[in-house]
Amino acid sequence: MKRFYIRWGGVLIITAIIGVLGIQRYNRDVTSISPDRLLREQPAQAVRVLGMVEAASIVKEGEGGPVAFQLSGEGTKFSVRYIGEESENLRDLKTLVVEGKWNSTTQIFEADKISLVPNYGFITAAYLASLIPMGLFLFNMERRVAMLYIQIKEEKVYQPEEPLEVG
Amino acid sequence: MVISRLIARLQRYEGWFGVAAGLLIMVGLYMGLVTSSPDYYQGEVVRIMYIHVPAAQSAMFAYTVLFGGSIWYLWKRDPIVDNMSHAAAGIGVFFTLIALITGSIWAKPTWNTWWTWDPRLISFTIMLLILVGYLMLRTFLEDKEKEATYGAILAIVGFIDLPIIHFSVEWWRTLHQPLSISTRGVSIASDMLIPLLLMSIGFYLLFTYMLMVRTQMLYLERLLEAKRGRMLSKVHV
């Protein structure tokens, strides 16, 4: 049983390390901020902002050129100038994530990427709802087998295989 | 003697399946969660597919093993095959539940509902009910041989649900998307297909590993029960 617990302890430690690294990466590269937080903090580095495209605010500057629109949050909105691949997702009243930098001089958010709402909460929930029960199921099953072998050995009810008598 | 030899084999080789499954699932998870691209329409939420689809495939595979094992048992009356079928049913319940839960979590942001009366969802839930029914039937009967026989008959009859699950998305055009990999071709980008394949193979190996461990477990439980019973009867007689 000692080896069994050491093995599962190792699995638990590796899982915890991966979990911590995942949370760190999420906070660093993946998470988005709200429009009011952007206006309040006015960060100098590239950020991801989640908001809704204001109705009738999309203005295209020629074919394949920059697109200007307004992104709103809870009671606040700001102008976005998007230069990048044409996106079908850029539509009125659509909730999107825009990636880029805030220009504090022009008070315009210069975006270079547009993504759909990531729904990371749902993804995390799906993975945790699968992997945690899977780990528990495997642990319990393996533990039960190890215990049964010990019980059988201790109670001397196991009969080792005997060689067949020939002739 | 043949059975104990088989159990010794299961004990010996199960580790390889466990390690291979673990490695494939780890690589598949990394690719699915980090390197694969988001879907054009669903966005990031498509990443749930990498766990939902393999779980659903494994659940159906578990039922196929149960079906094959049940026919074999009725033909040969081999108790270890009955243990294997019993083990497959338990693991099948587990994977079916995971597929239904992750599917429901996927449905909320995609279809804006946790549940809908879609033929694929209904037929899959029926499979869960058949598997739970199979396990319950086995607990009601005292006679081990009757338990195995009736369970095998139920599993064979219930197999009719499997083709319905598989073809439901083709026969009835509802919310659930049609098959991505079929005779018509592959309608999925390669950077999504590779992690999906890795996860699917990983889950099949994991299922095999679980089946080996659980078959041993059921066999050892029976062995212990039988030996103890025999010892007790010797004491009481």
Q: What is the mean pLDDT of chain A?
A: 87
Domain boundaries, chain B: 15-236
Alpha-carbon span B152 to B69, nearest angstrom: 8
| pLDDT per residue as tens digits for the range A136-167 | 999 999 999 999 988 888 876 555 555 555 44
pLDDT for B226 equals 80
Model pLDDT for residues B126-182, shown as the tens digit of each residue: 999 999 999 999 998 888 889 999 999 999 999 999 999 988 888 887 777 777 776
Torsion sign, CA atoms A143, A7, A9, B28: negative
Contact with chain A for residue B186, Cβ under 8 A: no
Give the range among A28-32, A77-81, B119-123 with minimum mean pLDDT.
A28-32
How far apart are alpha carbons B13 and A63 in whole angstroms? 63
Find the mean pLDDT for residues B35-46: 86
**Which of A28, A94, A121, A19 has its CA nearest to residue B48?**
A121
* Phi, psi values for residue B30, rounded to 5°: -60, -50
State what percent of residues in chain B have pLDDT above 70.
94
Q: A120 in contact with B at a CB cutoff of 8 Å?
A: yes
User: What count of other Cβ atoms lies within 10 Å of the Cβ of residue B155?
Assistant: 29
Q: What tens digit of pLDDT does each residue of B174-231 get? A: 777 777 776 677 778 888 999 999 999 999 999 999 999 999 999 998 888 887 776 5
Residue A63 has a pLDDT of 77
Rounded distance, CA B36 to CA B193, Å?
9
Residue A143 phi, psi (nearest 5) = -65, -45
Q: Do the Cβ atoms of B43 and A50 come closer than 8 Å?
A: no
- At A32-71, the pLDDT tens digits run 999 999 999 898 889 999 999 999 899 988 777 889 999 9
Given an 8 Å threshold on Cβ–Cβ distance, is B55 in contact with A115? no
Closest B-chain CA to A96: B43
Helices in chain B by DSSP H: which ranges?
A: 2-30, 49-76, 79-111, 119-140, 144-158, 161-171, 190-236
Both structure tokens of B28:
């598949």
Task: Give the model confidence (pLDDT) of B64-95 as tens digits.
Answer: 999 999 999 999 898 899 999 999 999 999 99
Query: Which of B5, B94, B228 lies nearest to residue A137, judging by beta carbons?
Result: B94
Task: Say what the pLDDT of residue A167 is.
Answer: 43
What is the per-residue pLDDT for B9? 81
pTM for the structure as a whole: 0.85
Distance between CA atoms of residues B95 and B97, nearest Å: 5
Q: Note the pLDDT of residue A134.
A: 94
> Tell me, what's the ipTM?
0.88
Chain A residue with CA closest to B224: the answer is A152
- Is the Cβ–Cβ distance between A103 and A43 less than 8 Å? no
pLDDT at B237 over 90: no
CA-to-CA dists, residue B135 to A48, B83, B139, angstroms: 50, 12, 7
| B45/A contact by beta carbon, under 8 A | yes
Q: Output the CA torsion sign for A28, A32, A36, A42.
A: positive
Q: Which among B116, B157, B117 is positioned nearest to B133, based on CA atoms? A: B157
Q: Is A147 on the interface with B (CB under 8 A)?
A: no
Contact yes or no for B1 and A123 at CB 8 A: no
